[in-house]
Amino acid sequence: MRDERESALAASWRKRPDALALTAGRRASAMPGARFPRSIGTFPTADELVQHLEEFASHHHIRVRTDFAVKRVDRDGDVWSERGRRA
């Protein structure tokens, strides 16, 4: 489960101009086990990052709960729980 305060995954990146590129290279910015394609330059753009995150979530069947503000995360052994409210 992935929670987003906004109405879409990576919403804050969607609001940025596409000309804005990450300051960390594509290798450092990639999700674990998922590389950016070589066709993407050294520094991915905001749109390329959003696409990367969407593909990662889809590939790993990560459910994204939108419009939810997390207030607290607790751990009890291997079990994680969270408290929050609809944004």
> 68 with 4: CB under 8 angstroms?
yes
Separation of alpha carbons 86 and 65, rounded Å: 10
pLDDT of amino acid 54? 93
pLDDT of amino acid 73? 92
pTM (two decimals): 0.76
Tens place of pLDDT for every residue, the chain, 87 residues? 677 788 888 888 888 887 788 899 999 999 999 999 989 999 999 999 999 999 999 999 998 888 988 899 999 999 998 888 887
**What tokens does 12 get?**
């804050």
CA dihedral 70, 8, 48, 62 (to 10 degrees): 70
- How far CA 28 is from CA of 33, 34, 65, 84, in Å, comes to 12, 11, 26, 30
**What tokens does 28 get?**
């450092």
> 18 with 46: CB under 8 angstroms?
yes
